[in-house]
């Protein structure tokens, strides 16, 4: 049995920014405490929602070290170690190990993309660079690169490749991957509106944007399912659909940062090229926050 990093809801944590665009370390510490106290099962730092694409090398590594220190072993910390440059991703994997992370999250190569054969070589090289358990991340809407179930099967043979965050939108693909890989590859939902469907196929949780604002509820969707309370889990998932839709009314993490700002967290804006959203989208987000009692 491979090492399992976590079950339940891991938060794809935002990176808060000051007015001048620098990382707001005090606010990041507060967000981490909010998540741990709110029942989040894992902190995922420097992922897409954390704006890893526009963090400097120094900021990226400092965020990982900072999160590990602030969490202090209370729950696992998974570090984003993604790049379309295999050698750079290997460096991030090694640094994540040095920082004390419990695992790494690696998205498929973007822009230059890769063949399925290339994906196998890319991921195996990163997995060979460290003994940390690795979560693959498949989000072709962003990367233009999709991991096929047969490729998952080949990747699942590596002892350090333990799971995938699946966000290709295809339940059929998840089912085929589960059929091929079995217990050799855990599956996390990468979409907040597909948590229960993926759990029903043997998934073990979600890496979530929604958890940024509703950590307990996102955790509870998973825990209720694990406890055999499938209807309650499904009902809670369904009650969150309007909120999830609002959090993806613009490019992530623009809406979730707007939501957190409305809630009083003052996480700042996204770094360019992600700009502020429209007044119509802000009204949509505010409406959902009011419905869930998060703002007055």
Q: State residue 2's pLDDT score.
A: 82
Taking the domains of the chain in order of start, what are their residue ranges?
8-291
3-class DSSP string for the chain:
CCCCCCCEEEEECCCCECCCCCECHHHHHHHHHHHHHCCCCEEEECCCCCCHHHCCHHHHHHHHHHHHHHHCCCCCEEEECCCCCHHHHHHHHHHHHHHCCCEEEEECCCCCCCCHHHHHHHHHHHHHCCCCCEEEEECHHHHCCCCCHHHHHHHCCCCCEEEEEECCCCHHHHHHHHHHHHHHCEEEECCHHHHHHHHHCCCCEEEECHHHCCHHHHHHHHHHHHCCCHHHHHHHHHHCHHHHHHHCCCCCCHHHHHHHHHCCCCCCCCCCCCCCCCHHHHHHHHHHHHHCCCCC
Q: Kindly list the catalytic residues.
A: 137, 165
pLDDT, tens only, 114-125: 999 999 999 999
Q: What is the reported pTM?
A: 0.96
Low-confidence ranges of the chain (pLDDT < 50): none
The reported pLDDT for the residue numbered 229 is 98
Structural fold of domain 8-291: TIM Barrel (3.20.20)
Residue-level pLDDT at 1 = 67
């Amino acid at each position: 049995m491979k090492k399992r990093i976590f079950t339940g809801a891991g938060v794809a944590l935002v990176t808060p920014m000051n007015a001048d665009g620098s990382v707001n370390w005090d606010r990041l510490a507060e967000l981490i405490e909010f998540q741990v106290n709110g029942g989040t099962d894992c902190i995922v730092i420097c992922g897409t929602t954390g704006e890893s694409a526009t963090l400097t090398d120094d900021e990226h590594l400092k965020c990982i070290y900072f999160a590990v220190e602030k969490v202090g072993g209370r729950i696992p910390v998974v570090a984003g170690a993604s790049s379309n440059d295999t050698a750079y991703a290997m460096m991030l994997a090694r640094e994540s190990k040095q920082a004390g992370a419990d695992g790494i999250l690696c998205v498929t190569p973007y822009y230059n993309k890769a063949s399925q054969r290339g994906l196998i070589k890319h991921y195996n090289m990163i997995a060979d660079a460290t003994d940390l358990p690795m979560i693959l991340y498949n989000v072709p809407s962003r990367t233009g690169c999709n991991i096929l179930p047969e490729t998952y099967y080949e990747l699942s043979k590596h002892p350090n490749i333990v799971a995938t965050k699946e966000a290709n939108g295809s339940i059929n693909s998840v089912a085929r991957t589960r059929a091929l890989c079995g217990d050799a590859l855990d599956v996390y939902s990468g979409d907040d509106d597909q948590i229960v469907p993926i759990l029903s196929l043997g998934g073990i949780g979600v890496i979530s944007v929604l958890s940024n604002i509703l950590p307990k509820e996102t955790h509870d969707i998973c825990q209720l399912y694990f406890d055999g309370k499938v209807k309650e889990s499904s009902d809670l998932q369904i009650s969150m659909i309007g909120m999830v839709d609002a959090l993806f009314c613009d490019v992530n993490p623009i809406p979730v940062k707007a939501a957190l700002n409305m809630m009083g967290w003052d996480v700042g804006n996204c770094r360019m090229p992600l700009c502020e959203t429209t007044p119509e989208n802000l009204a949509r987000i505010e409406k959902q926050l009011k419905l869930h009692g998060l703002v007055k």
